[in-house]
Every structure is written in structure tokens, then in C-alpha cells.
């Protein structure tokens, strides 16, 4: 188990390094740079050159990369060119916002998807099964880009919920939590609902497979109630295949929350990265990509380890 | 029709191909008098309760500031069948053009843009999915057939691409290139990026299938009869993955439709005058705008219909999603 953990951690570190290096180099290779963008096309050639020299953009890619890498080892990830603040100051706040959004979405998806999946997988009634399945199929066909557009439209039309941002101004500190929750509903539902549909389908399949197993028949023969069998024995046995999906979800979650962050103006990592890419803020791009990779690596690591703890067979591959 | 999903998808593809017939304007026709006008609704009963051939009313701007329109019920305008090579259009194009989904903020026909946009959106998705399937099948086939170090290296590489969030990879690759590019370049570029991001998923599955099939007797027989490596792989082993490839293709298309829309929405896809579902949503990206003019969300609805159709077509064929009962 220790060796397995170590191997996974090494892979995670490699992932973070490769992704942030790749992002830095790609951002540097891109035509145009921060200086020409910030000063506009009418700027004097010398002014642009001066700004480049001041920001260190006149160095070659290799030189800049080595400098950045040497600093990164000391946990100095460079300064954002547009905000003129260290990247390591800017990222944690935005990353926390993305984490709040993603975690809420996962919890929401689990609370909706898994119980409905158990019902759909175990119900004797064809109507219940088809209604749940139809609902899931509709939600599976509305990726976060679409759910967020539709939900924002609904929220704005009805005026029930705020449609953009994370906080409203002028809210007394006592109500800050409630305010955050109100802002969270639309984006979290936009990310979480398609995910809930996916979990529901998986859980329904796992449940219906488990229910045909001999140990369920045995439990029934011993006189256990149907409710107890479905919600205790079958649920426990069917959770493993569903749990293994959570590791894969992390990547989807980041991709999905990107569109949602842009549409609902949620101040997360995705909107920061887009902002950085547009202004060619190279160090911030690298920082955002690295932070995204940390998320990803942490997510897959935790779910892999959890799975390995449950099921020793997975440690081998 | 046995499979309603396939029917929906076929209808969408037909609508994209027949766009010039089905719409009564070109996607660039601007109607400066009708900015953000609501959909024109065909009537068959006039105010006097009289039944008549389908006709429409002219939109009259009643509030310049809020851009609110009202039907001018005094002069019904009949709809003409098959005018100028189109199926249906208004008989009086200058005062009351027929726009079943209203107009956008430039006064362009949303229905026409939706149909012509389907060409770009669905075309890109289909080509990219085909590209991903071909590249993935070749990579996976070679990895599974050759084995050893090649296999290890290829599979590590696919592992790496697969754990990355696809949207960010596409975004990073796209942003390396100039923000403004000619439409055809954008089309080729997005297709290539999507194909690269999608290929590893295909390669994984194909590798597994090829490895299993390689051990079966028919493969040994073909080898004994003197089939070369290439022939064995391409003629005998890869066809075994046909079913898998068909499913992958159907799953990648909706993913790419959405990816194009996301990139265009944030302004990194097609430039504005080119109609695609993403650029249309980009025009509506201001919340205030699409709340007042909900017909601007019709590309989102179109996207849902296509993705829903593909999912419906996949029912029972996608492992892990459809229940066995």
C-alpha cells in the first residue's frame, strides 16, 4: 500500500510539473504578448520594448522557462503581469471558489443521483423506472453549458435567485453565508444535475445487477424486508462500481465548471485562466494550469487510494 | 422508425444540408428596422374569425428603448410557397419578413442562422469525431498489436491526455494561435484539436480489443496463411472493433458540438459573422439580453435536441449508462 501510494504521488507531482510547464511554454509561443496587448497597436515600438524588458518578456523561451522553474522550486511562481501581484497570492482564493462550486456540485449530484438510481434499479414498477430514466436521459443531454444557460434564464425571469457572481454587495456580515448559498444554487445545479443523471444511471445498473445475486435471494428467504434488502444489502454491494467513477469525474468536473464559471460569472479558476489567456499573462496561465493539475491529481489520488483501500485487486495495475 | 434517436439526428442533419431551402433569408441578411424582434407567428384565422391561408402580421416597434414590438393586425401578409427557390417566405419581404425564430441584435434571421450554423457546428463535430476515431483506432491498433515498449509509451501518453480536463487542453491549444483567424482555418484547427483530445479514449478501447482478438484462432490462421502484419491488423483485427468504434463516434459528436459552442461562446471559436451555434450564443452572452429576448437561446435548444437524439440512439449500447432491464 505504501509503495502504491508513493507511486501515485510521484505521478501526481509529474502531472503538475508537466501541465504548468506546458501551459507556460504554450502561452509564450502564442503570437502577441502582454506588452503589445496592454499598450495597444498604436504604442511606440520603444515603449513596448521597454515594457517587455521590465517584465522580462524579452528573454528567450528557454531562458524564461529555466528562471521560472528555478523560482518555482522555491515556491515562487512569478508575478501576474496584469494584476501586478504574485501568482501565489491570486490563485488560492480563486481555487477555493472553484473547489466550493465543485464540491457542492458533487454532493448535490450524489444526493440526487444515487437514491434515484437505487429506486430505478430496484423498483418493480415500470412507470417509476421509465420516468426516472427519461429524466436522466434529458439531463444527460444537457451539458453544463446548456444547464447553466437555462438555469440563469429561469433565475433571471423569475427573479428568485441571483444570477451572477458570488456575493452581493451591501449584505450584512451575519447574512453572508445565506447570501453565498443563494449565489451557489444556480452554478452548482448547473454542474451537478448532468452529473446526477450519470450517477443515477450507473447506480440503477449496479443495483439491478446486485439484486439478481444469490445473496439477495438468501436475504429474502430469511425474511428480511424488501426495504432493508434494497437500502442496506444491495446498496452496500452496489456502491463499489459507482464509487470508482468518482476519480474520473474530477476531470469532467473541471471542464464542466469552466463553462459554468464563465456564464454565471463565478470567480473561480476557470474564469481566471480565461482572463489570463486573453491578456497573455504567461505566469498566471502557468499558475492556473498548475492549480488545475493539483486539483486533478489530488482528486484522482484520493479516489484511487480510497478504492485501493476497499478493493486490494486495484493496487496491482 | 424503430429508433427515434436516429430519426432526430437524421432530421437535424437534413435541416443543416437543406438550410438554403428551409430558411427564407441568408444568415447575413440584416433587417435594421427589426432588431431583436420576436418570432413571427403564422396565423390561419384572422381577427374577423375567418379561416384563410397561412398569413403573418407585420411587427411594429412600439417602444424604441425596450425594443418592444407589437403585431400590426390591420394588414395581414400572406405567406408565399416556393418563392425564389425557398420553401416558404413572406409575400411582402420588405415590410413583413417571415422569421419563425425572430431576429438577433443585428436584425438577422435567427432561424436562418440556426440552420446555417448547424452546418458549422455539426460539421466540425462529425469531422473531428471521425478524425478522433481514425487516429485512435490506428494508435490503439498499433499499441495492441506491437506490444512491448511501444505499447507502454503510447498508453502512458494516452493516460496523460485522458486525465487532463479536455476543455482546458482545447483552450490552451487554441490560445496558442492568433485570436482572429479566417473561418476555414478555425474550422480545420478546431477539428484537429478536438480529434487530438478525443483520440486517446478511442485508442484505449481499441488496444484492448486488438490484444484479445490477436490471441484468437482466426488471427493465428490468417498469420499462418502468410498475412503480413499490416494486413492482419487492418483487415482482420480492427474490424472486430467496429461496434466499439461506432459507439465512440456517437459519443464524441455531442461532446464536440458542446466544445465548439463553449469555445465560440468565450470568443475563441469562429469569428462573429460566421454562423455557428456557439457564435450565436456568444451574441446572446449578456444575461440581460437573453432574458428579454429568449429566442436568442434557440441554439442551446437545438444543441439539446441533437445531443438528446444521439443519446437516445445510444440507448442500450453505451456500457455503464443504460440499465440492463
> Cell digits for B311?
443519446
Name the nearest CA neighbour of A68 among A15, A28, A11: A28
Strand order in the sheet with B51-63: B43-45, B51-63, B68-81, B88-90
Helix (H) / strand (E) containing A52: helix A45-55
Share of residues in chain A with pLDDT > 70 (%): 92
Nearest CA in chain B to A245: B320
Of A222 and B74, the one with more pLDDT: A222
Of A145, A164, A209, the CB nearest to B287: A164
* A95, A101 contact by CB (below 8 A): no
For residues A181 and A195, what is the distance between their CA atoms, to the nearest angstrom? 20
Assess whether pLDDT exceeds 90 at residue B136. yes
B165 to chain A, any CB pair closer than 8 A? The answer is yes
Assess whether pLDDT exceeds 50 at residue B325. no
Which pLDDT does position A41 carry in this prediction?
A: 66
Residue B262 to residue A258, Cβ atoms within 8 A: yes
Range A200-215 average pLDDT: 87
* A117, A200 contact by CB (below 8 A): yes
Torsion of CA A137, A141, A144, A150, to 10 degrees: -90
Which pLDDT does position B2 carry in this prediction?
A: 63
Q: Place B323 in a pLDDT band, splitting at 50, 70 and 90.
A: very low
Q: Is the ipTM of this complex over 0.90?
A: no
CA distance B250 to chain A (A): 13
Which pLDDT does position B40 carry in this prediction?
A: 84
* A105, A261 contact by CB (below 8 A): no
Q: Among A169-183, A265-279, B261-275, name the one with the lowest average pLDDT.
A: A169-183
Which pLDDT does position A11 carry in this prediction?
A: 80
Range B283-302 average pLDDT: 83
Residue A138 to residue B175, Cβ atoms within 8 A: no
> Cell digits for A154?
429561469
Residues A94-122: pLDDT tens digits? 888 998 999 999 999 999 999 999 999 88
For residues B118 and B124, what is the distance between their CA atoms, to the nearest angstrom? 10
Which pLDDT does position A311 carry in this prediction?
A: 62
B155 to chain A, any CB pair closer than 8 A? The answer is no
Of A22, A138, A198, the CB nearest to B308: A138
Of A174 and B213, the one with more pLDDT: B213
Alpha helix stretches (DSSP H) within A126-281 = 126-140, 144-158, 176-211, 214-221, 226-228, 235-243, 246-263, 269-279
Q: Place B322 in a pLDDT band, splitting at 50, 70 and 90.
A: very low
Q: 3-state SS string over chain B?
A: CCCHHHHHHHHHHHHHHCHHHHCCCCCCCECCCCCCCCCCCCEEECCCCCEEEEEEEEEEEEECCCCEEEEEEEEEEEEEECCCCCCEEECCCCCCCCCCCCECCCCEEHHHHHHHHHHHHHHHHHHHHHHHHHHHHHHHHHHHHHCHHHHHHHHHHHHHHHHCCHHHHHHHHHHCCCCCCCHHHHHHHHHHHHHHHHHHHHHHHHHHHHHHHHCCHHHHHHHHCCCCHHHHHHHHHHHHHHHHHHHHHHHHHHHHHHHHHHHHHCCCCCCCCCCCHHHHHHHCCCHHHHHHCHHHHHHHHHHHHHHHHHHHHHCCCCCCCCCCC
> What is the CA angle B218-B220-B221, rounded to 5?
60
Range A75-103 average pLDDT: 84
Long-range pairs of B18-21 with CB within 8 A, sequence gap ≥ 24: B18/B115, B19/B112, B19/B115, B19/B116, B19/B118, B19/B119, B20/B85, B20/B86, B21/B85, B21/B86, B21/B87
CA distance B267 to chain A (A): 10
For residues B160 and B158, what is the distance between their CA atoms, to the nearest angstrom? 5
Which pLDDT does position A317 carry in this prediction?
A: 47
Residue A296 to residue B297, Cβ atoms within 8 A: no
Assess whether pLDDT exceeds 80 at residue B30. yes
B321 to chain A, any CB pair closer than 8 A? The answer is yes
Q: What is the DSSP letter of A233?
A: I
For residues A60 and A262, what is the distance between their CA atoms, to the nearest angstrom? 33
* A54, A258 contact by CB (below 8 A): no
**Tally of CB atoms within 10 A around B216:** 12
Residue A152 to residue B287, Cβ atoms within 8 A: yes
DSSP per-residue string spanning A66-120: HHHHHHHHTT---B-TTT-SBHHHHHHHHHHHHHHHHHHHHHHHHHHHHHHHHHH
Contact residues, chain B, for A30 at CB < 8 Å: 175-177
* B264, B270 contact by CB (below 8 A): yes
Beta strand pairing call for B51-63 and B88-90: unpaired
B159 to chain A, any CB pair closer than 8 A? The answer is no
Of B134 and B33, the one with more pLDDT: B134
Assess whether pLDDT exceeds 50 at residue B113. yes
Residue A137 to residue B258, Cβ atoms within 8 A: no
Residues A142-199: pLDDT tens digits? 888 899 989 988 888 887 888 777 777 777 777 778 888 888 999 999 999 999 998 9
Residues A1-30: pLDDT tens digits? 788 788 878 888 888 888 888 888 877 777
> Cell digits for A243?
464509487
Of A108 and A90, the one with more pLDDT: A108
Q: Among A74-83, A185-194, B207-216, B298-307, name the one with the lowest average pLDDT.
A: A74-83
Which pLDDT does position B5 carry in this prediction?
A: 84
| Most confident region among A65-69, B132-136, B211-215 by mean pLDDT | B132-136
Contact residues, chain A, for B125 at CB < 8 Å: none
Which pLDDT does position B124 carry in this prediction?
A: 92
Range B298-315 average pLDDT: 89
Share of residues in chain A with pLDDT > 90 (%): 11
* B79, B238 contact by CB (below 8 A): no
Assess whether pLDDT exceeds 80 at residue A50. no
> Cell digits for B114?
440556426
Range B4-24 average pLDDT: 87
Amino acid at each position: 500500500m505504501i509503495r502504491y501510494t508513493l507511486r501515485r504521488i510521484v505521478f501526481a507531482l509529474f502531472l503538475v510539473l508537466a501541465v504548468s510547464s506546458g501551459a507556460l511554454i504554450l502561452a509564450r509561443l502564442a503570437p502577441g504578448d502582454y506588452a503589445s496587448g496592454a499598450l495597444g497597436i498604436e504604442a511606440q515600438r520603444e515603449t513596448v520594448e521597454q515594457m517587455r524588458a521590465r517584465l522580462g518578456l524579452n528573454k528567450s523561451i528557454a531562458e524564461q522557462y529555466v528562471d521560472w522553474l528555478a523560482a518555482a522550486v522555491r515556491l515562487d511562481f512569478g508575478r501576474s503581469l496584469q494584476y501586478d501581484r504574485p501568482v501565489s497570492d491570486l490563485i488560492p482564493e480563486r481555487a477555493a471558489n472553484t473547489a466550493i462550486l465543485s464540491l457542492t456540485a458533487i454532493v448535490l449530484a450524489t444526493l440526487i443521483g444515487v437514491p434515484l438510481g437505487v429506486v430505478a434499479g430496484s423498483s418493480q414498477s415500470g412507470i417509476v423506472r421509465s420516468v426516472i430514466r427519461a429524466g436522466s436521459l434529458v439531463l444527460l443531454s444537457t451539458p453544463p453549458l446548456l444547464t447553466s444557460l437555462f438555469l440563469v434564464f429561469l433565475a433571471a425571469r423569475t427573479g428568485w435567485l441571483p444570477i451572477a457572481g458570488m456575493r452581493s454587495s451591501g449584505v450584512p456580515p451575519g447574512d453572508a453565508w445565506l447570501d453565498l448559498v443563494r449565489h451557489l444554487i444556480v452554478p452548482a445545479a448547473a454542474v451537478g444535475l448532468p452529473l446526477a443523471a450519470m450517477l443515477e444511471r450507473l447506480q440503477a445498473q449496479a443495483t439491478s445487477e446486485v439484486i439478481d445475486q444469490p445473496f439477495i435471494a438468501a436475504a429474502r428467504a430469511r425474511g428480511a424486508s424488501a426495504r432493508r434488502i434494497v437500502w442496506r444489502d444491495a446498496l452496500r454491494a452496489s456502491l463499489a462500481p459507482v464509487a470508482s467513477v468518482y476519480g474520473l469525474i474530477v476531470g469532467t468536473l473541471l471542464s464542466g465548471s469552466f463553462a459554468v464559471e464563465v456564464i454565471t460569472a463565478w470567480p473561480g479558476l476557470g474564469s481566471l485562466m480565461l482572463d489570463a489567456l486573453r491578456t497573455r499573462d504567461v505566469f498566471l496561465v502557468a499558475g492556473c494550469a498548475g492549480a488545475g493539475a493539483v486539483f486533478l491529481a489530488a482528486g484522482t489520488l484520493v479516489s484511487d487510494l480510497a478504492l485501493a483501500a476497499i478493493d486490494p485487486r486495484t493496487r496491482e495495475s | 422508425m424503430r429508433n427515434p434517436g436516429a430519426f432526430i439526428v437524421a432530421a437535424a442533419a437534413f435541416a443543416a444540408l437543406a438550410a438554403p431551402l428551409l430558411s427564407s433569408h441568408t444568415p447575413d441578411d440584416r433587417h435594421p428596422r427589426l432588431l431583436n424582434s420576436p418570432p413571427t407567428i403564422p396565423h390561419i384565422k384572422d381577427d374577423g374569425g375567418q379561416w384563410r391561408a397561412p398569413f403573418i402580421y407585420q411587427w411594429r416597434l412600439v417602444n424604441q428603448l425596450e425594443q418592444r414590438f407589437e403585431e400590426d393586425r390591420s394588414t395581414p401578409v400572406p405567406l408565399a410557397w416556393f418563392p425564389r427557390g425557398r420553401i416558404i417566405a413572406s409575400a411582402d419581404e420588405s415590410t413583413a419578413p417571415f422569421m419563425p425564430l425572430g431576429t438577433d441584435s443585428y436584425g438577422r434571421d435567427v432561424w436562418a442562422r440556426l440552420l446555417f450554423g448547424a452546418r458549422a457546428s455539426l460539421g466540425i463535430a462529425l469531422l473531428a469525431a471521425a478524425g478522433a476515431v481514425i487516429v485512435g483506432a490506428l494508435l490503439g491498433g498499433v499499441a495492441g498489436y506491437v506490444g512491448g515498449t511501444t505499447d507502454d509509451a503510447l498508453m502512458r501518453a494516452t493516460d496523460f491526455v485522458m486525465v487532463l480536463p479536455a476543455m482546458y487542453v482545447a483552450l490552451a491549444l487554441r490560445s496558442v494561435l492568433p485570436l482572429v483567424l479566417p473561418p476555414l482555418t478555425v474550422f480545420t484547427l478546431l477539428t484537429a484539436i478536438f480529434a487530438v483530445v478525443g483520440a486517446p479514449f478511442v485508442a484505449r478501447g481499441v488496444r484492448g480489443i486488438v490484444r484479445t482478438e490477436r490471441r484468437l484462432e482466426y488471427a493465428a490462421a490468417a498469420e499462418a496463411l502468410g498475412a503480413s502484419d499490416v494486413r492482419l491488423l487492418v483487415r482482420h483485427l480492427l474490424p472486430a472493433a467496429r461496434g466499439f468504434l461506432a459507439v465512440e463516434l456517437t459519443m464524441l459528436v455531442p461532446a464536440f458540438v458542446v466544445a465548439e459552442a463553449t469555445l465560440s461562446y468565450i470568443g475563441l471559436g469562429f469569428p462573429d459573422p460566421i454562423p455557428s451555434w456557439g457564435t450565436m450564443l456568444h451574441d446572446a452572452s449578456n444575461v440581460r439580453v437573453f432574458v428579454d429576448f429568449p429566442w436568442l437561446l434557440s441554439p442551446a435548444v437545438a444543441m439539446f435536441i441533437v445531443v438528446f437524439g444521439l443519446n437516445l440512439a445510444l440507448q442500450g449500447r453505451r456500457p455503464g449508462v443504460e440499465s440492463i432491464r
